[in-house]
Structures are given as structure tokens and as C-alpha cells.
Amino acid sequence: MEEIRGIEALAQEILDDARKRADRILRKAEEDARVVEAQADQKIQQALEALEREYQTKREAAARAMRAHLPLEQQRLDIEYRDAALRKALQDALAAVDPRLFGAWCVRRLRRAAELVRSSVANVMVCGLDASTEQDLRALFTDSPSVSVEVSTSMKSRGLSVKPSDDSYHISITQDELVAWLLDEKRGELGAALFGSTQ
């Protein structure tokens, strides 16, 4: 009987020892789980902080890029505005010029090519010029019956256009071309006169 009690005591000791070990293992597992959870929370926090830094860096880069483009965009808009204002001012100024004066300018320009026009069959199309300018043009070509002077309804700009029947040349003396020439050749002086010196 004593042996049975000894075996029971031994069994009880083994069970107690096993419970203690199981408790230690459970405590260790819980502790490990807490450590893993803390590490996971720390890794998540680090990942969030890295994402926030990356987002901040990209946002700052985008803001820098936008600030870098703003002066260029402002300069482009300024140039666009000045060009439109200069074109409008030129058109308005030329529209206000005495028609007789503008017509005399057109006749003087055409005189330079009068020999070429006289040597061909051509039509001088006139738009927006006064009657005395038309008479001056007809007088310029009185000795050339192959050249006619006609009022054009299809021209869009005030001035004249010479079209030979064989299309071997084309002469155009119009307000739009005068504006284009002035913008090409005298833009700086005209801009300074209109907007003041930019230096």
C-alpha cells in the first residue's frame, strides 16, 4: 500500500511539476505574445511615420515645383497680355490714321513695284481705301491697260493686293501686314512707348 501511496505521491509530484511547467510555458507564451504585439505596434508606427515622411517630402517637392513654375507662368501671361495690348494699340492707332494718309502710304509702297505690275496682266484689289487713293492707283497704271483697279469685298484688312493672272507674284500692302512689320521690326520701341521702360 505504501508503494501505491508512493506512486500516487510521485504521480502528484509529476502532475504538480507539469502544471508548473505548463504555467511557466503559458506565462512565457503570453509574454512572448505581448513582445510580438509590441514589436508589431512599433513596426506599424514606424511604417506610418515613414509614409508620413515620404508624403511630406513629396508634398514639399510638389510645392517647390509649383512655386518654380509660377514665375514662368506669370511671365508667360505678362508677355501674352503685353503682346495683345500692343497689337490692339497698333490696330487702333492705324484705324485712327487719316484714310488719305494711309492710302498715300499704300500708293508709295506700290510705286516701288509698279514696273513689275505694268509688265503683267493684273488686278489691284482695294479694300477700305478712300476714293482719292483709288484715283491715284488708277493714275499710276493709266499707261497699262492690262492692269485694273477694283474694290474687293473679300479682303479682310484695309489696304491693297495685287494678283497677276499667271500667279507669278503677289503683292500685298495691308494694315495687318503693317502691324506685323511694326511688331517684327519695332516691337521694343513700341513696347517701351506703350508700357514704359522695362529695364
pLDDT score at 199 = 46
In a domain, 184, yes or no: yes
Domain of residue 151, CATH code: 3.30.2320.30
In a domain, 76, yes or no: no
In a domain, 92, yes or no: no
In a domain, 7, yes or no: no
Residue 180 sits in which domain range? Answer: 97-195
Domains in the chain: how many in total?
Answer: 1
| Rounded CA separation 193/196 (Å) | 6
In a domain, 140, yes or no: yes
In a domain, 167, yes or no: yes
Tens digit of pLDDT at every position of the chain (199 positions): 666 777 777 778 887 887 888 788 888 878 887 888 888 778 888 888 888 888 888 888 888 887 777 788 888 888 899 889 888 888 888 888 888 888 898 999 988 888 888 888 888 999 888 888 888 888 888 888 888 888 888 888 888 999 888 888 888 998 888 888 888 888 888 888 888 765 4
Is the Cβ–Cβ distance between 124 and 117 less than 8 Å?
A: yes
In a domain, 188, yes or no: yes
